[in-house]
Amino acid sequence: MMSVLARLRAERPLTHFMLIAFGFLMLYPLIWMLGASFKESEFIFSEVSPIPDPVTTDNYVSGWSGWGVGFGRFFWNSGVIAVLSVVGNMIACSLAAYAFARMEFLGKRFFFGAMLATLMLPAHVLLVPQYILFAKLGWINSFLPLVVPKFLAVDAFFVFLMVQFLRGIPREMDQAALIDGAGPWQIYWRIVLPLTTPALATTAIFTFIWTWNDFLTPLLYLQDPSRYTVPLGLNAFLDASGDSAWGPMFAMAVLSLGPLFGFFLAGQRYLTAGISTTGLKG
C-alpha cells in the first residue's frame, strides 16, 4: 500500500508539469497575439518572443479610431445582433421544445424528425435560397436576416437540447398544475421555464459565442461598412496587396475577446449544469 502511495506522490510533479506545459501550448497563440498587439508593426513577425520591446499602445489607438467608421461601431453592431439572437433563441427554442416535449398534436413525431434532419443538412446548402428569399423581402444590408430567423426556432440543436432537458422533468408537476387550474401557458411560464434555467443558459452562451464570431453570414447580407460586425471589421485590416495593418488588427482582436470571456464567465456555472444535467437536481 505504501509503495503505491509513494509512486503516486512521485508521479504527481510530473503530471502537474505535463498539464502546465499542455496548458501553455494551448494559451500560447493568445499570449502571442496579446504581445503582438503592443509591438510596433515592423517587429511583429521579425521577433520570436511574444514579449514586446519596446511597448507601444499606438495599435489600440489607431485600430479603434481607424478605418473611417471607428471600431466602436463594429462592437455596437455585433452586440445588438448577438443580444437579439440570444433573446430570440431562448424564447423560440424553449417554446418549440415545450411543444415537442409536453404537448400532443397531429404530426408531432414527423415534425420532430424533420427538425432533427436539419441538423444533418449542411448550412451552405441553404445560403442561396435564403439569400434569394431575404433579397425579395428587401432585407439585404440590414440586421433582419441575422436576427429574425432566431425568433423562428431555426436552430434545431438548441431545440433538441431543451427537449432532452424537459424530458427529465417529471410530468407529475404539469398534472398537478392542471388540477390547480393552470393552462399550458401558465405551466410553461411558471413551472417549465424556471426549471430549464441551465438549458437556457447553455443556449444563451453558445448563441452569443457563435453569433459574435460569425463571419460568413454578415459578409453575405451587410454591405454598408457602418453596419459591419467585429469579424468584418477585423477582416478590413487585411489588404490583398500585402499592405495589411497587422498591429491594429491584433489589438482589436484582443479587445473582441473581452465580451466572449465575460459572457462565458458570467454563465459558466449554468453552462456546466446545462450540459451535464438531464433531469432535476436534488
Residues 200-242: tens digit of each pLDDT? 988 999 999 999 999 999 999 999 989 999 999 998 888 655 5
Give the per-residue pLDDT at 242. Answer: 56
- For residues 16-29, give the mean pLDDT: 84
Least reliable range by pLDDT among 46-50, 86-90, 189-193, 203-207: 46-50
pLDDT digits (tens, 9 = 90+) for 32-48: 888 888 988 788 887 77
Q: Which pLDDT value is given to residue 148? A: 95
Contact (CB, 8 A) for 66 and 225:
no
pLDDT at 272 over 80: no
CA gap 7, 5 in Å, rounded: 5
Q: Which CATH number fits domain 71-276: 3.40.1400.10, 3.20.20.10, 3.40.309.10, 1.10.3720.10?
A: 1.10.3720.10
Q: How confident is the model at residue 7 (pLDDT cuts 50, 70, 90)?
A: low
pLDDT at 230 (0 to 100): 94
CA–CA separation, 280 and 282 (whole Å): 6
pTM: 0.85
Least confident stretch, 87-96, 109-118, 253-262, 266-275: 266-275
Predicted local distance difference test score (pLDDT) of residue 1:
47
User: Can you list the alpha helix ranges (DSSP code H) found in the chain?
Assistant: 2-36, 58-65, 71-102, 108-117, 127-137, 144-147, 156-166, 172-179, 184-187, 193-195, 197-213, 216-221, 230-235, 246-266, 268-276
How many helices and strands in the chain, by DSSP H and E? 15, 0
pLDDT of residue 29: 86
Whole-angstrom distance, CA of residue 261 vs CA of residue 268: 10
Supply the DSSP string of 25-38, one letter for each residue: HHHHHHHHHHHHTT
Asked whether the predicted pLDDT for residue 150 surpasses 90, the reply is yes
pLDDT grade, residue 245 (50/70/90)? confident
- DSSP string across 29-82: HHHHHHHHTTS-GGGTTT-SSSS-SS---HHHHHHHH-TTT-HHHHHHHHHHHH
- The distance from CA 65 to its chain's CA centroid, rounded to whole angstroms, is 26
Q: Identify the pLDDT of residue 169.
A: 84
Per-residue confidence (pLDDT) for residue 269, from 0 to 100: 73
pLDDT, averaged across the chain: 85
Does position 2 have pLDDT exceeding 70, yes or no? no
Read off the pLDDT band of 279 (50, 70, 90). very low
Domain ranges across the chain: 71-276
Predicted local confidence at residue 179, as pLDDT: 82
